[in-house]
Amino acid sequence: MTDYNFNEAKNWFEELRNQLIKIVSEIDGSDFIKTNWTHRHQGGGTMAKIKGSVIEKGGVNISSVSGKFSSQMQDKIPGAKDNPNYKATGISVVLHPMSPKIPSMHFNTRYLMTTEQWFGGGMDITPCMDFKNLELYHQGLKNICDTHDSKKYSEYKKWCDDYFYLPHRKEARGAGGIFFDYLKNDWEQDFEFIMDIGKYFRDFIQSTFLELKNEKWSNTEKDLQLIKRSRYAEFNLLHDRGTKFGLETGGNIDAILMSMPPIAKWD
């Protein structure tokens, strides 16, 4: 694998970022504010944040960094045991809608290079009440997975359910989706899958917001959403691997905590 692959992945993440920002801005009527940050090793990223009337808080982050893993990390990362060098590029998206009728939506895909290389990522949604398109949402993800490998969907779905679980509350963070890592079969096909997932997320958020953004909601429903978001906050701070990794390694605090809900309520 070469820099060609890395750059192809990076370019797609940037292209998808641009598409998502355009779509979400148009739906909301507000602009994203972009902030660049640099990594303490090499490279950096761009956060794009929106605080609007449809999207109460949303973030679309891309980053491309390179460096050397600490000796402690080397043992944990595939292909890093004898060579600590890595390159990583990725896109990460969180949308917390104002309306409790619309789920919070989370998506990320990434590409890592050590002496090995692989894709990882996933998407999941967190409704706080009945979400009428839930079946369609899951079916859409299944269709994409099945197109690329007829055996993987149930594995990726379970991975997501297992990951986004709060053991101390014995409840799921949300309604799940898919989650995968160490995807390293045929590069072209893997990349196709990554792009398909991104396009699916893009189209899903567009259609969901356009369909539901004008539906009325009550204060009681908003309250349900704020309570649900406290679980989202608990998950991110107690369990999320990316958050823990970022905080422990001194990453950009605003980028790491971009995913936190705008307002959360503990009863």
Interface residues toward a copy of itself, by CB under 8 A: 57, 168-169, 226, 230, 233-234, 237-238, 247, 250, 253, 256-257, 260-267
User: Which candidate in 39, 106, 168, 239 is catalytic?
Assistant: 106
Q: CA angle at residue 24 from 19 to 25, to 5 degrees? A: 100
| Shortest distance in whole angstroms from residue 45 CB to a copy of itself | 17
Complex with a copy of itself: residue 195 or 264, whichever CB lies closer: 264
- Judged by DSSP in three states, 82 sits in coil
Complex with a copy of itself: residue 1 or 33, whichever CB lies closer: 33
| Shortest distance in whole angstroms from residue 145 CB to a copy of itself | 33
Complex with a copy of itself: residue 96 or 148, whichever CB lies closer: 96
**Exposed (0-12), middle (13-18) or buried (19+): which is 72, by Cβ within 10 Å?**
exposed
Residues 6+ apart with CB under 8 A from 259: 59, 92, 94, 106, 236, 240, 243
User: CA 265, CA 267: separation in Å to the nearest integer?
Assistant: 6
| Shortest distance in whole angstroms from residue 172 CB to a copy of itself | 15
Provide the token pair at 146: 């099945």
User: CA 263, CA 128: separation in Å to the nearest integer?
Assistant: 14
Is residue 115 within 8 A of residue 71, CB to CB? The reply is no
User: CA 162, CA 154: separation in Å to the nearest integer?
Assistant: 12
What's the chain's length in residues?
Answer: 267
* Best CA proximity match to 49, nearest among 228, 206, 259, 197: 259
Complex with a copy of itself: residue 30 or 230, whichever CB lies closer: 230
| Shortest distance in whole angstroms from residue 266 CB to a copy of itself | 4
| Shortest distance in whole angstroms from residue 48 CB to a copy of itself | 15
Is residue 106 part of the annotated active site? The answer reads yes
Residues involved in catalysis: 106
